[in-house]
Chains A and B, each alone.
Chain A
């Protein structure tokens, strides 16, 4: 069965510190993985995706994600968090021609 999991409901980090939002996946074939961010009462905004190639993927707003096949993970990272990064983050797995399973979401709180 194909699925994606975000083990943390919430991540708290101080402004200026590095942040990591975790995502693990399960898929029978090649994994196609995405990160989206959602601000309150807004739609989802695309951050980055992994399809093939380099395991370190760089995306919007200074975010990057590391694909790790042996650990079946695709963690989202940023070297220095901003208060404005506070939002809800979703990891997603493409399971069939651009149809997504979304993770349950992780709320990121960045404190000044």
Chain B
């Protein structure tokens, strides 16, 4: 039973063409995270939502935006993808931001930029 679902699993876009990645969860968790993982590197947190409160990491480029229309869904928008944005994008959720609450990850969306 999938708990954190990411669609599509593979996304191909063109240089400069806006793209949206989707994440949904059946856990009713309050917090949703977006990570970027480039090849052979550690996942890097881009931003997270605590309920409707958006929290951006200081070094996340302005090219990356996010929307959370309701508890279940969260979107990652890349306004003008560059070649350097090709990566695996991971969505995660947790019940709260407390350390006792585990983060659950989706399978990821692999983005290719042509």
Contact = CB atoms under 8 A, between A and B. Distances in A.
A104 B41 contact: yes
Given A43-B4, A46-B104, A51 B45 contact: no
A42 B98 contact: no
A46 B90 contact: no
| Contact count band on A | 20 to 34
Interface of B: 4, 6, 9, 31, 40-45, 48, 90, 92, 94, 96-108, 110
B105 to A, nearest CB: 4
Contacts of B45: 99-100
B100 A51 contact: yes
Interface in A96-112: 97-100, 102-105
A102 B105 contact: no
